[in-house]
Structure 1
C-alpha cells in the first residue's frame, strides 16, 4: 500500500484525524500544541493523531494529499479542514464545534 492510500484510509476510517508533530501529550511544535488545545476545548474524545515526525513518508505524503504545505492538518469525516490558524478561526466562530459534533454524533 502506498503512502497516499495509507493516508486516505486513515482519514476515511476515523471521524477526526489530526496530523501533527509529536503526540497530544507532548506536541513537538507550537502549532500542533495549539491544534490539540482547540480540539480539547471542543471536547473531542474520538481523536486519532498521526505523528508525522515518526514517518518521513507520511510527513511528506500528507502535504501532497491535502495540497497544503504545513502540519498540523485536521480532517473531519475525510474532509481536510486546515491547520491551526484555520482551526482557531473556525473555533472562535463556533463552526469547528458544530463540525465536530456532527462527526462524532
Structure 2
C-alpha cells in the first residue's frame, strides 16, 4: 500500500527544513519532495526514510525519527534546547497605552 501524502507537501517541506536547521543538520533538497543528508533520504510529505542502497521499501518513520537517526550518526550538531521553567518568559506583555489612545 502506498504511503499517504499530506495535503500540503510544501508545508511539510518547510517544517522539515526548519527542524533540520534548528538541529544543525546540513541537508540538500533534491526535489520539491525529497531531502538528503549524506546517505540518508527523507520525504517530508510521507515521512519515509531510506538509506542509500536500501532495496526494501521506505519506512514511514517521520521527522522526529529522522532527526534521531541523524543525531545517532553524528550528523546533527546542535544540542537540544534547555527546558524553560518560567512560563512568563514566553508571555508577551503589552506596553501601557496613553490615555485616550485606544486600539480596536
TM-score exceeds 0.5: no
Structure holding more helix per residue? 1
Say which one has the larger Rg. Answer: 2
Larger relative contact order, structure 1 or 2 (CA cutoff 8 Å, min sep 6): 1
TM-score norm. by structure 1 comes to 0.31
